[in-house]
Amino acid sequence: MAQKLPRTRRIWLPSFLGRFTSLLFALSLLILYFYVIGNLQGFTDTTLFFLLAALSWTLGLCTVFGVFSSLLYVLSIPLRNRLYLDRIIIYGAMSLFSILFYLVIALLQAFMEFYG
Protein backbone atom coordinates (compact mmCIF):
# COMPACT_ATOMS: atom_id res chain seq x y z
CA MET A 1 0.00 0.00 0.00
CA ALA A 2 1.32 3.43 -0.93
CA GLN A 3 2.16 5.83 1.84
CA LYS A 4 0.22 9.10 1.83
CA LEU A 5 2.32 12.22 1.78
CA PRO A 6 1.30 15.00 4.14
CA ARG A 7 -0.53 17.84 2.49
CA THR A 8 1.57 20.97 2.29
CA ARG A 9 0.12 24.42 2.38
CA ARG A 10 1.08 26.73 -0.45
CA ILE A 11 0.90 30.45 0.24
CA TRP A 12 0.56 32.23 -3.08
CA LEU A 13 -0.79 35.70 -2.23
CA PRO A 14 2.50 37.40 -1.17
CA SER A 15 4.24 36.11 -4.29
CA PHE A 16 1.39 37.28 -6.53
CA LEU A 17 1.33 40.75 -4.96
CA GLY A 18 5.12 40.96 -5.22
CA ARG A 19 5.08 40.15 -8.91
CA PHE A 20 2.28 42.65 -9.46
CA THR A 21 4.36 45.25 -7.59
CA SER A 22 7.31 44.56 -9.88
CA LEU A 23 5.05 44.88 -12.92
CA LEU A 24 3.63 48.19 -11.73
CA PHE A 25 7.12 49.49 -10.91
CA ALA A 26 8.34 48.61 -14.42
CA LEU A 27 5.23 50.21 -15.90
CA SER A 28 5.83 53.40 -13.93
CA LEU A 29 9.41 53.55 -15.23
CA LEU A 30 8.10 53.08 -18.78
CA ILE A 31 5.57 55.89 -18.32
CA LEU A 32 8.33 58.10 -16.91
CA TYR A 33 10.42 57.33 -19.99
CA PHE A 34 7.53 58.34 -22.27
CA TYR A 35 7.05 61.53 -20.26
CA VAL A 36 10.71 62.53 -20.55
CA ILE A 37 10.89 61.67 -24.24
CA GLY A 38 7.58 63.43 -24.85
CA ASN A 39 8.82 66.50 -23.06
CA LEU A 40 11.93 66.55 -25.26
CA GLN A 41 9.92 65.92 -28.43
CA GLY A 42 7.38 68.63 -27.67
CA PHE A 43 4.22 66.64 -26.89
CA THR A 44 1.12 68.68 -26.17
CA ASP A 45 0.36 69.70 -22.61
CA THR A 46 -2.73 67.49 -22.43
CA THR A 47 -0.65 64.43 -23.32
CA LEU A 48 1.93 65.30 -20.68
CA PHE A 49 -0.83 65.86 -18.08
CA PHE A 50 -2.30 62.48 -19.02
CA LEU A 51 1.09 60.79 -18.62
CA LEU A 52 1.59 62.42 -15.22
CA ALA A 53 -1.88 61.33 -14.08
CA ALA A 54 -1.21 57.76 -15.25
CA LEU A 55 2.17 57.83 -13.53
CA SER A 56 0.70 59.01 -10.23
CA TRP A 57 -1.96 56.26 -10.29
CA THR A 58 0.61 53.62 -11.16
CA LEU A 59 2.97 54.74 -8.41
CA GLY A 60 0.15 54.82 -5.87
CA LEU A 61 -0.90 51.28 -6.75
CA CYS A 62 2.71 50.12 -6.70
CA THR A 63 3.11 51.52 -3.20
CA VAL A 64 -0.03 49.86 -1.89
CA PHE A 65 0.70 46.45 -3.41
CA GLY A 66 4.36 46.59 -2.33
CA VAL A 67 3.42 47.31 1.28
CA PHE A 68 0.83 44.53 1.27
CA SER A 69 3.30 42.10 -0.26
CA SER A 70 6.02 42.88 2.29
CA LEU A 71 3.52 42.71 5.12
CA LEU A 72 2.16 39.36 3.95
CA TYR A 73 5.67 37.93 3.64
CA VAL A 74 6.36 39.00 7.23
CA LEU A 75 3.04 37.61 8.49
CA SER A 76 3.49 34.27 6.73
CA ILE A 77 6.95 33.57 8.21
CA PRO A 78 5.62 31.08 10.79
CA LEU A 79 3.86 29.07 8.06
CA ARG A 80 6.94 28.78 5.82
CA ASN A 81 10.28 27.06 6.00
CA ARG A 82 12.23 30.02 4.59
CA LEU A 83 12.46 33.64 5.65
CA TYR A 84 12.32 35.37 2.21
CA LEU A 85 14.21 38.34 3.63
CA ASP A 86 15.43 39.37 0.17
CA ARG A 87 11.89 39.72 -1.16
CA ILE A 88 10.77 41.66 1.90
CA ILE A 89 13.63 44.13 1.41
CA ILE A 90 13.15 44.44 -2.37
CA TYR A 91 9.40 45.03 -2.24
CA GLY A 92 9.81 47.38 0.71
CA ALA A 93 12.41 49.36 -1.23
CA MET A 94 10.12 49.48 -4.27
CA SER A 95 7.33 50.78 -2.05
CA LEU A 96 9.57 53.41 -0.48
CA PHE A 97 10.88 54.58 -3.86
CA SER A 98 7.35 54.64 -5.26
CA ILE A 99 5.97 56.77 -2.44
CA LEU A 100 8.87 59.23 -2.70
CA PHE A 101 8.51 59.41 -6.46
CA TYR A 102 4.73 59.82 -6.05
CA LEU A 103 5.33 62.84 -3.82
CA VAL A 104 7.69 64.36 -6.41
CA ILE A 105 5.10 63.83 -9.16
CA ALA A 106 2.36 65.37 -6.98
CA LEU A 107 4.57 68.40 -6.41
CA LEU A 108 5.25 68.67 -10.14
CA GLN A 109 1.52 68.47 -10.88
CA ALA A 110 0.83 71.20 -8.31
CA PHE A 111 3.33 73.52 -9.98
CA MET A 112 2.07 72.67 -13.48
CA GLU A 113 -1.50 73.55 -12.47
CA PHE A 114 -0.75 77.24 -12.99
CA TYR A 115 0.38 76.62 -16.58
CA GLY A 116 -2.51 74.36 -17.64
Residue 104 has, within 13 A of its CA and on its CB side, a CA count of 9
- Domain membership of residue 64 (yes or no) is yes
Rg of the chain over all Cα atoms, to the nearest angstrom = 20
- Domain membership of residue 8 (yes or no) is no
Q: Please say if the pLDDT value at position 41 is more than 80.
A: yes
**Helix H or strand E encompassing 110:** helix 85-112
Q: How far apart are CA 1 and CA 93, in angstroms?
A: 51
Q: Please say if the pLDDT value at position 116 is more than 90.
A: no
The mean pLDDT value for 14-29 works out to: 94
pLDDT in tens, 62-108: 999 999 999 999 998 877 777 889 999 999 999 999 999 999 999 98
Sign of CA dihedral 83, 84, 86, 90: negative
Number of structural domains the chain divides into: 1
Name 55's Cβ contacts closer than 8 Å, sequence gap at least 6: 28, 31, 32, 35, 105
pTM of the model: 0.83
- Domain membership of residue 79 (yes or no) is yes
Range of the domain at 67: 13-112
What's residue 1's pLDDT?
A: 61
Q: Please say if the pLDDT value at position 34 is more than 90.
A: yes
- Domain membership of residue 4 (yes or no) is no
- Domain membership of residue 7 (yes or no) is no
**Number of helices (H), then strands (E), in the chain:** 3, 0
